[in-house]
Structure 1
Amino acid sequence: MTIEDAAFLRTLYIQEQGTVLRIENERFRVTEGEDENERDIVNIPSIKVGQIVIFGACMVTPAAMRFCLMHRIPIVLLSSRGKYFSRLESTDDVNIELECLQFDRSTDARFQVQCSRNFVQGKIHNASVLLKRRSEERNSLRLLDAIRQLQHLEGAVEQADSPDTVRGFEGRAAAVYFGVLGELLDREGFSFSKRTRRPPTDPVNAMLSFGYSLLFNNIFSMVRIHRLHPYVGFLHADKPTHPALVSDLIEEFRTVIDGMVLGLVNRHVIGPDEFSIVRRSNGQIRGCYLSDHARKVFLREFENLMHRRTTHTSTGYHISYRRCLDLQVQEFALFLKGEKEYIPFRRR
């Protein structure tokens, strides 16, 4: 595989409800209807698919399931609104030696602090870069003050002597960053005052949550490809069913999604009327969700983003974002083994 080749993680998204995923002659077919009314929605060579993401009710034939397991093509199951349920993937490619090292390192206080600093410094740096880029044509004292605060916090993280202290700086930085993010929105009908999740309560938060979920899934797959244990982390506490390492590695890349969401709003790609707010019987918001059309547009833009080129900080390679994600996971594996220092991804 060349440094430019990210085809291993090309994603097949299936959103149409009631469809069937089949494998025939090493081609994936997504069909709807029965017998003589059956028609293909997708018909693609399996070699072009690195993972499959299914939204809602789609049947997977036993043959397709077996093919995916044999060829290590993960199937990710989401609700029709994008809530994560589970993954179906092969578990026969495990590096016990590397996983044992990862477990040992996770109890090494010095190593844990070093990892936490790297992840959070990268995250804060990229937050300040996004605000700088987007605020150049705005005369906003709040934005300038937020940028100064983030730069100060990025430097302060270097002196942190425990993961808890690092997490404290991360929390303060997030409050500063999300406190001014709404000033970068230029379209009526969209506003943002704070980050809300589980559930998101407004269109901007709904897009952020959906984008983070897609990014999270990509990094999860790369963690598995590089045979790391996704549930043993260093910045985020280990919890049952929580892929803590994936949560660690996503931090440096969250602002990539933030910038994409700002673009979707400000370029009028997705409108405020393409969301539905679900309420409980007492009137409390149960969640805000993208429409089927908005979700398709978002997925298209996300894939375009993953193919967009950027500069990988450690190697200097000018590559796609998806390949950049992969290289960063690979760099962490080398760091874990003591073969090189870990340099967080920093946007320019």
Structure 2
Amino acid sequence: METLFIAREAKLKRQDNTLFIHANGRKTPFPIEKLRHIVLLGEAAFNSRLLELCGQHGVRVSVFDYYGYYRGSFEPSEQNPAGRVKLEQAALVLDDNKRIAVARELVRGAAHNMRALLAYYAYRKIAVLDTTLKDMDKLNGKIGKAANSEQLMGIEGNLHQSYYAAWGKVDKRLDFVPRVRRPPNNPVNCLISFLNQMVYTVTRHEACKTHLEESFAFLHSPGQGRSSLSLDLAEPFKPVLSHALIFKMIRKGMINDNWFEQQEGICLLSETGRRHVAEQFSIRLEEQYQGRSYREWLYREALNIERHLLGVAEYEAFKRKA
């Protein structure tokens, strides 16, 4: 088990070299050697002895707040630092032409995977999606002409606008526009926000396995308290890991009303909802695509950036076939 998602209120304790989780009156052991990432989605209590154990075994602990947003991590010490990669990454970020080339490819990857998700349903006789797909194709053709990050982010924003507006054409239960983030105002917006944060958190974990500097990004501007690089790398995977899962859960009737807490225009996942969504996300993360799990593809995405920086191979974003 690479990542352990804990959605319940729990206490985490160390006993010798084993992690014990106390929740709902039960005590469950987890050998620390089999873990690399613990994600706390609900209220949790732990002490420095547990963090010491995690540090010894290279286990990251990520914390989400009540609203379903990632707030920070306990980071184990870097095991294999590489200054050359960070220097090459800094040099590329400071070179506008080289940086925008990587940023364009990131947006191409995201655009391709958004289109692929809609195309999957268009192939199944949902003809009303044809106009949206044509609009997205036009916008996709403008990506290579974007001269700077502002223009590129504008194109990306227009792509998302067309893309999200088409969800309701696939299924009326997916109609949620406009996109509202902080806080989300309906169940679909709530699921998008929560699952996008999950994608970001796992992307950050996989990127930290490489030698990349997490604050040096190509598309997103550097921000305090966040890994801008992981925001970049997560973009091509949100349609695949987050949005496709939302389509599946809603269209198959997997979601119950008790998954959400709604009041005065605010919609948040309940503990029950966080637990079920995290379970489905963990399953999706380990699904195989072309012989690799999506988790492995996330790691390879970061590794491909590193290879690009070292001049080994040109970076090409992950693009899933429709």
TM-score over 0.5 (shorter chain): yes
Q: How many residues align?
A: 319
Of 273, 288, 294, which aligns to 1:321?
Answer: 294
Partner residue in 1 for 2:189 = 205
Partner residue in 1 for 2:309 = 336
Partner residue in 2 for 1:152 = 138
Give the TM-score normalised by the residue count of structure 1: 0.86
Partner residue in 2 for 1:221 = 205
Counterpart residue type for residue 30 of structure 1? I
What's the CA shift string for 1:248-279, capped at 9, x where partnerless?
Answer: 11111110111100110010111345311233
Is the 1:185–1:191 contact (alpha carbons within 8 Å) kept by the matching residues of 2? yes
**Whole-Å separation in 2 of the counterparts to 1:173 and 1:104:** 30
Give the TM-score normalised by the residue count of structure 2: 0.93
Instruction: Report how far residue 28 of structure 1 moved.
Output: 1.4
Of 15, 18, 21, which aligns to 1:27?
Answer: 18
**Whole-Å separation in 1 of the counterparts to 2:115 and 2:49:** 49
Of 21, 41, 44, which aligns to 1:55?
Answer: 41
Instruction: Report how far residue 84 of structure 1 moved.
Output: 1.9
**Whole-Å separation in 2 of the counterparts to 1:102 and 1:135:** 40
- Residue pairs, 1:1-348, within 5 angstroms: 10-17=2-9, 19-32=10-23, 39-40=26-27, 42-93=28-79, 94-141=81-128, 143-185=129-171, 187=173, 191-256=175-240, 257-279=242-264, 285=265, 287-311=266-290, 318-348=291-321
Kindly indicate whether structure 1 or structure 2 has the higher relative contact order, using CA contacts under 8 Å at least 6 residues apart: 2
**Whole-Å separation in 1 of the counterparts to 2:123 and 2:207:** 36
**Whole-Å separation in 2 of the counterparts to 1:21 and 1:268:** 34
Is the 1:122–1:344 contact (alpha carbons within 8 Å) kept by the matching residues of 2? yes
Is the 2:262–2:268 contact (alpha carbons within 8 Å) kept by the matching residues of 1? yes
Counterpart residue type for residue 180 of structure 1? A
% identical aligned pairs: 23
Partner residue in 2 for 1:282 = none
Counterpart residue type for residue 21 of structure 2? V
* SS in structure 1 of the partner of residue 261 of structure 2: strand
What's the CA shift string for 1:140-198, capped at 9, x where partnerless?
Answer: 43x111101112222221232322222221111111111111222254xx631222111
* SS in structure 2 of the partner of residue 44 of structure 1: strand
**Whole-Å separation in 2 of the counterparts to 1:294 and 1:70:** 33
* SS in structure 1 of the partner of residue 208 of structure 2: helix
Larger deviation: 195-204 or 23-32? 23-32
